[in-house]
Every structure is written in structure tokens, then in C-alpha cells.
Structure 1
Amino acid sequence: MGEEKAKPVMNGVWHTVKPFVNQGVSGMLATFVIQPVDMIKVRVQLGQGSAVSVTKDMLKKDGVCAFYKGLSAGLLRQAIYTTARLGTFRYLTNKFKAKEEEPPLYQKALYGLTAGAVGACLGSPADLALIRMQADATLHLDQRRYTNAFNALHRITANEGVLALWKGAGPTILRGMALNMGMLASYDQSFLLFKDKWCFGEGAAMTGAIFVSGFFAAACSLPCDYVKTQIQNMQPNAEGKYPYTGSLDCGMKTLKSGGLSKIYKGFVVYYARIAPHVMMTWIFLDQIQKLERRLDDNTLLTENRESI
């Protein structure tokens, strides 16, 4: 009797946490594949040259391994950030769909903003460690500060205090909100448009929705991403003063010195990172869900046989 009562409870718990686990795992797998492009994007934003020149320089100095510097921080970030943001979005939309209704676009946008804020706030320390490690890889070997994500978090806390882990949290959260609003809302809406109104097959609808959501995610979030990178990587000058007093100051100074072209520097590389990451996240998630369905079907079949 105890086992019969425990089983529905466990199933209920898994049903609740499953969107978070699935999204987190799919995001980590996608990050492993896309890490080299992300590394190039950060170096372009730090003013080290074009995507082509940065790639050539990295290969010449450190080989292929240079593209995976900071991978541990990237995976840690996805384990926290993507699990929270995509899991929250899917949880909210599933609650709405339980009423047998499809959320309107504005509702999906609000869910995306909420999910982005939650994920970015929780994942900000890991995101800081990732940016620091990627910038660290540009230094000479004897000048590098961090060995892995946990070492970076420990050293930042020890040298700068716990609150320093949320340095740049403002633009990080804004970026997360902008990215999720652009990516998730547009993905769901365009998928329905391609599939139901334009009668695309599921695969074609998914592919089209991925590119649409990738574009809107990149266009909405790149300004915040640029500011976030500058804030998280800034160092004090000889007088102990930082180049920017905050996110707004950074954004205004950037616009004043270079205009929108500067703040959108690296857009092609950024889009090339966002779109494939979105694509692979959804592909991995689809495969994980298919595997779960097969396992559930096999479990149900086994239970039916045992009951007979």
C-alpha cells in the first residue's frame, strides 16, 4: 500500500521538475557544441579584431583547445540559467494550456520576461565566471587567474566579496529578459504560424521558428550583452577608478563614442551563436522527450504484463 501511495507522489514531483531538468540538459549539450563561437564573440566584443582574425590568432597561439577555455563555467551557467529560464517559461505556458487555451503573444512575452529575469538572477555568478575565464584566456600563461569555474567563483568571492558575483547583474538580467522575450515568445508564435496557418510539416515549422526566434533574440539582447560584457570585464585604472559607473553609463558612453554600430558590433557572430544554440537546444530537448516517451511506454507495457 505504501508503495502505491508513494508512486503517484513521485510521479507528480517528476511531472513538475521535468521541464526544468530537460531544458537544463538540452541547454548544456547545446553549449558544449556552440562554445567555440561564444568564445570568438566575446573576443570580438573586447576589441581584439574581426571574427576571422580572432579565430586565426586563437588557432595559432593555443590550437583547438583555445576555443573551449571557460567551458566549465559555460556548462555551470547553463545548468543554472537555462534550467531556470526555459523551465520557468515552459511551466508557465503549460499551466495556461491546462485550461485548453493557447497563450496570446503578449502573455508569452510576459512569461519570457519573467523566465529571463529568474534565470539571469540565479545564473549571474556563473555568467560572470564565464566572462572572466574567456577574457583570462587572452592573457599570457603566467598572468591567467583562473583554472576552472569553481576556482573563478572562489577567487572572485575571496578578493572582491560575495556581492561581486553579481557584478553586472543589472545588464545580465536585462539581457536575459530581452533574450527570452525575443526567443521564446517568437519561437512559439512562429511555430504555430508555420505549422497551423501555412501548413508546414513539423520539421520545417521547427526550423523556420528557430531562425525567427534566433533573429529576435539576438536583436533584442545584443545591446544588453555588449554592456554586460564591458561591465563584467572592466578593470580599475592606476587611480583605482573604473571606466564606467554602471550599465547606463556604459551604454551612454558607448553610444556617444561609436553609436549603434559599436553596440551592435559582432552581431553576425552573436546571431551565429544564438541561432544554432536555439536550434540545438530544441533538437536535444526533442530527442530527450522522445526517449522519455519510449521509456514511459516500455514501463507501462511492463506494468500491464505484470498485472495480467
Structure 2
Amino acid sequence: MSAAAPSRSARRGDFMRSPLVAAALPFVNGGAAGMIATSIIQPVDMVKVRLQLAGEGLSAAARPSPFTITRDIIAQGRFLDLYSGLSAGLLRQAVYTTARMGFFSTFMGKFGTKAKAENRSVTFAERSGASLAAGGLGAILGNPADLALIRMQSDGMRPAAERKNYSSVVNALTRIAKAEGILALWNGCIPTVARAMALNFGQLAFYSETKAQLSAYGAFEGYRGQEAYRNLGASAVAGFFASFFSLPFDFVKTRLQKQTKGPDGKLPYRGTMHCAMKVAKEEGLLRFYRGFGTYYVRIAPHAMLTVLFADWFLQLTKSGSV
């Protein structure tokens, strides 16, 4: 028995170190981490979407707050509405975050190898390039799930007779494709990709760079759990820049993905630029930053949790514990 155990452990270690598994782990770890983070943050994301859609087309519309939206949902006895679209959110993370985290780790591994060979550190430009490319690729793959998420979260804002009452993300995707065509699943893809690239640039590039700078300057040196403090500080910085750069794109994406044809058979917005110009003209430029506080509260913890869980999973898989 004692001889068999090390043999099984050695075989498992060899399997975990195989090239195929090593290449897949950043994708698997990133996707799992994103799904856990989304499960925790989903109510905040729901309120963010309702904030962005409130007063659509009206420059002088009353400005709701995150608290009034949450209070109204709960007061109507619809607490579970805060988790509307969770299945779509999880599918989106399974596709989008799996791709962006995996591609970022892969690209950074290449840059790290190159930097080591040249006896230098990875540059901020290289971190930026890796984050932008990873965000764009992940967004293209995850757009259908993202669209389903917006439709499911905004459905409760419609009059009861006009609600679609999607039962799940599969139901939403199937009905949207059947009613509007398969390409409708990529509505809002351009601002989605732009948002993802902006968010990834702010989140992953600034997180990686801030963490490296904190380590270089010896921040929190001597403190117990110094690495955790650096991660927390870097996540807060990354969360702000991710929110600031990506919110306008997220706003346009939400409007485009929420829209459906009116009684005249036409869509409110013809495309990304038309939506942006129409909102700026009718609702004002500051409307693009409506809900910034809520968006930051949603992005920063999600960024932190995703990175922490990804690091934890990485340690588990490296040690062969799973």
C-alpha cells in the first residue's frame, strides 16, 4: 500500500505537468475563478444594468440610485430578481473569462520567457498588449452569453404583458436566435469587444504592473500576509482603471443588447456610433458614466475575487492537490 501511493501521486504529478494540461490550466482556472466571482457579485451587476437602462431616451429623467432600485425590487417581493440572468452570467464567465484569463496567461508566459532571455523585466507595453488581445478574443467568443444576460436582466423592467420570461440562458439564446436570427446573438459585439479590451487593459495590465511595482518597492515588507495585501492593493487600483476605461463601452453595449424591434419593426439604434451619438445628444455625455459607483463596486471585487481564486486554483493544481 505504501509503495502504491507514491506511484499514484507520481503519475498524477506527471499528468499535471504534461504540456497539454499545463497549457489548459490557465483557461480552466480562470473560468472557474470567474464563475465563482460572478455568483457572489451578480446582484450588483443586476442593479448596474437597471441603472443604465433607467430613463432611456430622456435627458431630464429622474435619476435613480442603486439603493432605490434594490429597495424597489425587494419591496415588490421579487428578491430573486437580483439574481436574474445568473445562468447567463455563469455561461459568459465559462466562455469569456476562461478565454481572456487563459490567453492573458499564455501571452504573458511568452513575454516572460522573452524578457528572461534578454535579462530584463516584462514591460508595461507587453502587459498592455497581452491584456488587450486577450480581452478582444474572449469578448467575441462570449458575446452571445453576454447578450442573453442583458436580455434576462432587463426583462423585469418591461410591462408584465411584454415580458419574455426566459427560463434559462439556453431558453433565451434559443428564442432570440429563432425570433431575430442567429447573427442577433452578436448584437453589440463591437462595443462588447471594445469594452472587454478597455476592461482587460485596466484590470489585468494595471493589476500585473501594480503588483510588480509594489513588490519592487518592498510594499508591505515584513507584514504577515504581505502578498495578500499587495494583491488587494493592486486589485483596487486595477478595479478603478478597469471601470473608468470600460464603463462608456459597457453603457453602449447594454443599450444595444437590450433593444428589440418596436411596433414599427425598427430598432431604436442602428449601431454603435448611432447609439453613442443619440445618447450624447438626447441624454448628455455624463449619462455614459451613470452608475460609476455601482460599476466600480461590481468590477473591483470581481477583479479581486477572480485573481485570488485563480491564484488559489493555480497553487492547488501545481501541488497536485486536485
Structure 1 residues 10 and 212 mapped into 2: Cα distance closer, same or farther (>3 Å)? closer
* Distance of 1:21 and 1:79 partners within structure 2: 9
C-alpha distance after superposition, 1:58-77 (max 9, x if no partner): 11123431111110000000
Secondary structure at the aligned position of 1:33 is classed as helix
* Distance of 1:112 and 1:24 partners within structure 2: 16
Q: Partner of 1:72 in structure 2? A: 87
Give the deviation of 1:148 after TM superposition: 0.5
Give the deviation of 1:136 after TM superposition: 1.1
* Distance of 2:191 and 2:320 partners within structure 1: 41
Secondary structure at the aligned position of 1:78 is classed as helix
Q: Partner of 1:253 in structure 2? A: 278
Q: Partner of 2:49 in structure 1? A: 42
Q: Contact 1:34 / 1:273 at 8 angstroms: preserved in 2? A: yes
Code of the aligned partner of 2:308: I
Q: Contact 2:111 / 2:126 at 8 angstroms: preserved in 1? A: no
Question: TM (normalized to structure 1)?
Answer: 0.90
Structure 1 residues 9 and 28 mapped into 2: Cα distance closer, same or farther (>3 Å)? closer
Give the deviation of 1:260 after TM superposition: 2.8
Structure 1 residues 140 and 190 mapped into 2: Cα distance closer, same or farther (>3 Å)? same
* Distance of 1:292 and 1:59 partners within structure 2: 41
Higher share of residues assigned helix? 1
C-alpha distance after superposition, 1:97-149 (max 9, x if no partner): 12325321111111111011100000000000000000113335554321100
Q: Equivalent residues in 2 for 1:29-178 (5 A)?
A: 29-47=36-54, 49-99=64-114, 100=116, 101-139=120-158, 143-145=162-164, 146-178=166-198
Q: Partner of 1:293 in structure 2? A: 318
Structure 1 residues 9 and 233 mapped into 2: Cα distance closer, same or farther (>3 Å)? closer
Q: Contact 1:116 / 1:177 at 8 angstroms: preserved in 2? A: yes
C-alpha distance after superposition, 1:274-308 (max 9, x if no partner): 00100111121122123223336xx9xxxxxxxxx
Q: What percentage of aligned pairs have identical amino acids?
A: 45
* Distance of 2:274 and 2:161 partners within structure 1: 33
Give the deviation of 1:165 after TM superposition: 0.5
* Distance of 1:126 and 1:139 partners within structure 2: 21
* Distance of 2:250 and 2:312 partners within structure 1: 30
Name structure 2 gaps, 5 residues minimum: 1-10, 56-63, 221-225
CA RMSD of superposed structures (Å): 2.0
Bigger mean CA offset, 77-86 vs 132-141: 132-141
Question: TM (normalized to structure 2)?
Answer: 0.86
Bigger relative contact order (CA 8 A; separation at least 6): 2
* Length, aligned pairs only: 293
Q: Contact 1:96 / 1:102 at 8 angstroms: preserved in 2? A: no
Code of the aligned partner of 1:44: L
C-alpha distance after superposition, 1:256-289 (max 9, x if no partner): 2333311100100000100010011112112212
Give the deviation of 1:10 after TM superposition: 7.5
Q: Partner of 2:59 in structure 1? A: none
C-alpha distance after superposition, 1:176-221 (max 9, x if no partner): 1111111111000001111221433212211110011000000000
Q: Partner of 2:252 in structure 1? A: 227
Secondary structure at the aligned position of 1:103 is classed as coil
Code of the aligned partner of 2:283: G
C-alpha distance after superposition, 1:161-182 (max 9, x if no partner): 1101101111111111111111
Bigger mean CA offset, 26-35 vs 97-106: 97-106
Name structure 1 gaps, 5 residues minimum: 300-308
